[in-house]
Structure 1
Amino acid sequence: MSSYFTGELDNALGAAAGRAGLGPGAPPGRGNRQGGDFDLGNTQGQRPGTLNALFTDGQPQDSAVVQDDGDTQALTEDDLQILSLLDPAAAPVERTLSSGTYRLDASEGPGPEQSGTVLVTGFPTAEQDRTLLSLDITGTGLSLAGLTVTGLAGTVIIRRSLRPLEQLSAVATSVSRLPLASGEVEIPVRVPPAAARPGTEGGTVGIALNEMINHVTGALRERHASETKVRQFVADASHELRTPLTSIRGYTELIFLSEQVSPSGRSALERVDSESKRMSSLVEDLLLLARLDEGQREGPADVDLSELIVETMSDAQVSAPDHQWKLELPDEPVVVPAVGAELRQVMINLLSNAHQRTPPGTEVATALRIADGSARITVTDDGPGIDPGFLGTIFTRFSRGDAARTSRSGSTGLGLAIVQALVTANSGTISVSSKPGETRFVDDLPTARSGPAPGHRKKG
């Protein structure tokens, strides 16, 4: 469009030069055309803004710029200096003058009487520039509008096409947040049929995800059924073992009281008695875990933790006098809703673990405080610490990989598993941290009464 407007101006420049009195384009009847004189003050047929300047041998002779009211105004010396440098043999050019930018054409007189005479004619480019600017603005506006519409349409189309993937992501996220580690597990979420249609990439992934969820659900059901069978077997076996173990211990005591045996026989009987007691302890632990797994528990009641800790600390101090025992309690009693016998077992196991797995002289400190609305019990010892590789499985049943804390008595590997099960049954949490010189168990119990812990039911 700029080239078109420039061509139109160039064509009009020749006609304007003729109207000013140069060459065959001059109006008929103008006698000055034959004499070589020009009448630049004659504005007849000239549009506002038309520029005419006459030079003879490079010196300005006359100049005029047509105004809006039809009058003319002479050019400044600076403008004439710029115009005097134009080459008549060259094509029209654009120059910036004091009154604006002009399209200019220099024409030399055709006759001998006009030799050395140059007429410069020009038109302002302001109107052309305004038109081009308007076209630029319009084109830019239309382009931006088109890009906006295209972007919005593309967004809608892309979001519609990606909606099945969002549903797949939501299903995968829901599955990842389910507690699948233990217990009876059912995965209730599936990819909806709209996002699991065959024939599309997203639908194919949705079908595959549903098949994977179904497979995982089936595997978890089989795992839970297997665990249930194992736990039932352990419970039944433990229950059946109680009677023969009791008989063994009874007959052993009877022999001690009524029979005369040799020293070697007495030693053997003492060994039988010791092992039967250890076996009885293992059976009782297994039965306790089995009852917790089945949810056979007493109902919670208000338990004074301060009194309970004092009693269990006193028992531990009597059983392990070669350790240093410290106790820190708040001024006021701390009462929590829980099963007292279960919390007592928790404290007994934690304190026994502390003194049985540390050397004599170890300091064991027990503290009770209120933290963030919970009763926090900490049991800390300054023993050799726990192997970092064992911390991840320390609450696992039959876990006995702690070589750093040497046990001076046989361990079934159930003590801390029972602690975690009892704490969880009472809606609490337990954690452990350890480094050489400091091992700390932290037990948090809620101080407000709540419903039964998930997975447990109140004993009928």
Structure 2
Amino acid sequence: MSTLRPRARGPLSLQTRLMAAVTGFVSLILVVIAITTSVVLGNVLDGRLQDELASAAKGAGAAAAQQAVIGGRIPDATDLVVGQTGVQTGTLVMVVSTSGAASGTFVSADHVAQDLTPLQMRQVVTALAAGRVAEELAGLGDYQFAHQSFPNSAKPQFEVITGLSRGTTETQITTLFSVIAITTIGGLILLALSTAITIRLALRPLREVAATANRVANQPLDRGDVSITERVPASEADPRTETGLVGAALNTLLDHVDASLAVRQRNEERMRQFVADASHELRTPLSSIRGYSELSLRALSRVDTAADPATASAHTALERIQAQSLRMTSLVEDLLLLARLEEGRELTLAAVDLSRLAIEGVEDARPTAQDHEWSIDVPEEPVELIGDTGRLQQVVANLLANARTHTPAGTHISIEVTEEDGEAVLLVRDDGPGIDPAVREELFSRFARGDRSRNRATGGSGLGLSITKAIVEGHGGTIAVQSSPGATVFTVRLPRTPATVLHEHADESGSSVEDEGAARGGHRIGDTVSGR
């Protein structure tokens, strides 16, 4: 039985952590201050209540003693209250004799003396008997008491109990708590807002650094003419601040990377130009070698090689020289073509029917590999695009030759042409042994070989797939491969119209190259259009 694991909580942002820390510490300080203030003020109010209670008890006691001496009897509680001046509202007075007789009164809100109920007086007596100096009286609220005894053998003995309401003190403390709580909450809200704004402004350079890094990361830095123009704004890259120092460091890094990429680009251009120049220069001596070898072979063909072993050996050597010169010529032509394709040249654009190219490619490949099974899947309607017919035909031929060469007899090879999302898609499948994952990443590199995964039946330069990729990318398309034992698929995606902007020839009597391109219904890339 599987158990559901709780989803791991993601890390908190720096802004959230700073806000939580600042708000938490300030909240703790404010709570401590609020509690301390409330305790101190509560003690002060309790002390004032004690002073007022002592003053009220003193006045009631003096009045009771005077009446007891003059009248020779236990005074009535109401007389003690009425006989005093300045008695505050809520004052309670009780007189309790030793025999248990009691009288009590309290000053109401309208300064009228009202008698205590038997229940209220019983609650007072019970609380004092239990040693409590405060009690919640029915209908009156919380009271605090002070009592005085008047023992005198010659005179009546009694106790005078004085009480003051704690309601005023409790109301003041409650009001204080409310004010402190509201002030604290409001202060924390203002603190959180001001902290958020301050931190957001302080971290803005870091966000600008991240945005700049993301923009640079989205640039295609692995090919073509690369120039990193993105920089952190100078206002956010002040090295005198901590966050600005990060922006300044990133700008320094980008300057260094931009300079390094520029050097790399110049080196690649020099190397590409060297390959193109060397390939171009090698064509002439290779043509001479092949021509002289052919002439020598024609001359030796008229000699009886059976009678002269040396002549037979020379004939064999010349055949080998001619074969190797042909192979080297093919290699030089491929290198020259690849260099020109990478420069954005050698493409003549016109309307191309990709379905027809696929059909013709299979018809050309079938006689050279009759031990393979071939199939074609193309839509009824032509899949047309703007491209170089000859080069796209070379793409089809290279992919079919690659599948034919690197798979054993009996392998099924299929080619499919479809349309997806406004693009022309060419798929070449085979059910051969697949491509070794160790060489799959370098499959489209120059001189890449798949010998470790596929049984190579014939020789080759190792430039076929790299030329195929250059042609596809020259058309603004992509090529990818997915391979596993029994299923290898090369996928070519080509836009219906290349992104390269074509310019019409202003003069129809231009150079011969332009006339040739116009005669073929297209435009020569490199003469009128720059880049891929």
TM-score normalised to structure 2 length: 0.75
- Residue 356 of structure 1 deviates from its aligned partner by 0.7
Find the counterpart in structure 2 of residue 3 from structure 1: 43
Equivalences for 1:353-432 in 2 at 5 Å?
Answer: 353-400=402-449, 402-432=451-481
Residue 219 in structure 1 maps to residue 243 in structure 2? no
Match of 2:360 among 287, 295, 311: 311
Change (3 A) 1:14 1:368: same
Contact 1:94–1:101 (CA under 8 A) maintained in structure 2: no
How many percent of aligned residue pairs carry the same amino acid? 37
Distance 2:127 2:492 in 1: 98
Distance 1:209 1:226 in 2: 25
Distance 1:11 1:266 in 2: 136
Contact 1:357–1:407 (CA under 8 A) maintained in structure 2: yes
Find the counterpart in structure 2 of residue 132 from structure 1: 173
Q: What amino acid does structure 1 have at the position aligned with 2:50?
A: D
Distance 2:329 2:279 in 1: 9
Distance 1:340 1:50 in 2: 113
Q: What amino acid does structure 2 have at the position aligned with 1:24?
A: A
Contact 2:133–2:144 (CA under 8 A) maintained in structure 1: yes
Q: What amino acid does structure 2 have at the position aligned with 1:12?
A: E
Find the counterpart in structure 2 of residue 194 from structure 1: 235
Find the counterpart in structure 2 of residue 237 from structure 1: 278
Residue 39 in structure 1 maps to residue 77 in structure 2? yes
Give CA deviations for 1:145-186 in whole Å, capped at 9, x if unaligned: 433444444444444443433333333333333322232222
Equivalences for 1:273-292 in 2 at 5 Å?
Answer: 273-292=322-341
Distance 1:452 1:397 in 2: 29
Distance 1:306 1:265 in 2: 49
Distance 1:221 1:363 in 2: 47
Distance 2:407 2:71 in 1: 127
- Residue 42 of structure 1 deviates from its aligned partner by 7.0
Distance 1:58 1:141 in 2: 54
Contact 1:107–1:120 (CA under 8 A) maintained in structure 2: yes
Moved over 6 A (4+): 27-33
Give CA deviations for 1:95-152 in whole Å, capped at 9, x if unaligned: 333336413214142233564x444433333332222222222222333343344444
Change (3 A) 1:441 1:405: same
Contact 2:293–2:322 (CA under 8 A) maintained in structure 1: yes
- Residue 350 of structure 1 deviates from its aligned partner by 0.9
Distance 1:397 1:357 in 2: 17
TM-score normalised to structure 1 length: 0.86
Residue 107 in structure 1 maps to residue 147 in structure 2? yes
Give CA deviations for 1:327-370 in whole Å, capped at 9, x if unaligned: 21223221122222221111111111111111111111212222
Residue 24 in structure 1 maps to residue 62 in structure 2? yes
SS class of match (1:35): coil
Distance 2:319 2:100 in 1: 139
Q: What amino acid does structure 2 have at the position aligned with 1:347?
A: V
Contact 1:430–1:444 (CA under 8 A) maintained in structure 2: yes
- Residue 63 of structure 1 deviates from its aligned partner by 4.1
Match of 2:378 among 300, 305, 329: 329
Change (3 A) 1:241 1:59: farther
Q: How many pairs are equivalent? A: 453
Change (3 A) 1:354 1:9: same
Contact 1:15–1:25 (CA under 8 A) maintained in structure 2: no
Find the counterpart in structure 1 of residue 127 from structure 2: 86
SS class of match (2:432): coil
Contact 2:67–2:75 (CA under 8 A) maintained in structure 1: no
Match of 2:487 among 412, 425, 438: 438
Across the aligned residues of Structure 1 and Structure 2, the Cα RMSD in angstroms comes to: 3.2
Equivalences for 1:446-457 in 2 at 5 Å?
Answer: 446-448=495-497, 450-452=499-501, 457=525
Find the counterpart in structure 1 of residue 9 from structure 2: none
Contact 2:418–2:426 (CA under 8 A) maintained in structure 1: yes
Change (3 A) 1:81 1:345: farther
